[in-house]
Structure 1
């Protein structure tokens, strides 16, 4: 390859990367904002109220999104640029995640709005960059499975360390007391809640439900019915988690499509969750990622 053709090839690669990162930026911001706009969500911040949260509101999430998205894009670029094996992705993005958390806390006045998203969508963005550069194809399930390959051994080391010292964080306490692995375990397994529940539910709901908000509520209920949400456990106990899962299953059984009646029941369930201090925040994060993938598919196909 001569110098001229080498420069042209480099410019094409740069343009391809720029286009990809613009899509990730748009889809990440869209996913985070549309999740919080999905209404009514039981126990969660939405356009109607703040759910079971006294320290955050819709505007908090808007500020946090603006702070966090640039770091998610940086993680996607890191994945794109990595020449090594997938196992090198996680240590490469961990320092970016630390900076993202600091930016989030600065933007929200110390409120944890998106720590889980920084972890989960950060891993996914890095794996997306790694895969898309090599294949030029958006394969959500392949990206999620790559997330498991990239994190499994590193996160197992985290769990091994937790066994040798007293728990510090909420997640460590849940692991020590109940054996729940939370979002770390979800990542290790290649995000099965997304592959098996959220993404299929999103596709199914959008096929029969023209209202995007109601389709997303269907996805949220599907996640709530099937995920052991550690955000609920942090605030309560396994019995409360089981109650929340049963309520989600009841609504899905009664309303396979989110009707006006289902919207009324969701609003009533929100009041019940607020009274019991229940917040399925882990499921909300997974909903945001499902919205992210749907939006990314639209952008990449343009």
Structure 2
């Protein structure tokens, strides 16, 4: 049974995801102007029961044990099915937010470190058939979603250092910070290593131009957005990590390392 605290964590995670979806313009990613925006917002709400159940499991267990890892995996697979019925999407965000919600239920001030301890255990109930992301990770030696979690979500920590406020420019700069270095397996699958480096360089170019709040940076962002749209390349891994950063920013008294409230 979930508590009010578990449901509040789930709501905060869904809000973080819908805030990420509404952010405009996001290069290569669905935003408020995209035809799928309303469907994605609707299916995001289907994450809430599963996320609350993950928080409840973590709160009940109290430690990042192998048993908790297995329970979170089982809940995640059921939640994926519910989301698919509601319109689909959000698989990467579910992985990130599920781990962070569970970790926050145990220790909100050390959520990324606790998530790292959770994924140190294998999910024995996971399908043996490798996912697309894990296959791409193995092919190119990329960390992928699991590697990011096992490292304690370094890109989320970097994004949070950029999130100085809730304004659009701050959030876009945080997204670009993730994109500039993340080995995004979705990009590796669709564009290969050369395409990944191209996107990383484009994101760095916007930041080096002063970020999205400057005229030069805004122009560079528009060019990058048009380029990725024309190529059909989507940095979906970065979007899920931004949602994770927004979720942690919404929690009380959980400042990022080196950052004051």
Alignment TM-score, normalising by the size of structure 1:
0.77
Distance in 2 (CA, whole Å) between partners of 1:158 and 1:243 is 37
- Asked if structure 2 preserves the Cα contact closer than 8 Å seen for 1:251 and 1:262, the reply is yes
Report SS of the residue matched to 1:35. helix
Matches of 1:278 and 1:125 in 2, distance apart? 29
Does the alignment pair 1:67 with 2:46?
yes
* Partner residue in 1 for 2:81: 102
Highest Rg: 1 or 2?
A: 1
Distance 1:276 1:149, change over 3 A: same
Cα deviation digits, residues 184-215 of structure 1 (max 9, x gap) = 111112112112x111111xx32xxxx61111
Residue 11 of structure 1 corresponds to which residue in structure 2?
none
Q: Does 1:198 align with 2:159?
A: yes
Unaligned runs of 5+ in 1: 1-13, 51-56, 132-137
Residue number in structure 2 paired with 1:289: 244
Hey, what's the Cα distance between the residues in 2 that align with 1:285 and 1:172? 16
Structure 2 residue 23 is matched with structure 1 residue 38: yes
User: In structure 1, what is the equivalent of residue 5 of structure 2?
Assistant: 20
Deviation at 1:81, TM superposition (A): 0.9
Question: CA, structure 1 residues 127+298, in 2 after alignment: closer, same or farther (shift >3 Å)?
Answer: closer
| Correspondent of 1:147 among 96, 111, 115 | 115
Alpha carbon RMSD of aligned pairs, Å? 2.5
Native 8 Å contact 1:30 1:295 kept in 2: no
- The alpha carbon displacement at 1:44 in A equals 0.4
- Work out the CA distance in 2 between the residues paired with 1:280 and 1:85: 30
Question: Are the aligned partners of 1:224 and 1:248 in contact in 2 as well (CA < 8 Å)?
Answer: yes
Quick one: which of 50, 58, 70 aligns to 2:37? 58
Task: Tell me the TM-score normalized by structure 2.
Answer: 0.88
Q: Could you tell me how far apart the structure 1 residues matched to 2:236 and 2:65 are?
A: 29
Structure 2: 5+ residue stretches without partners: 255-261
Deviation at 1:158, TM superposition (A): 9.9
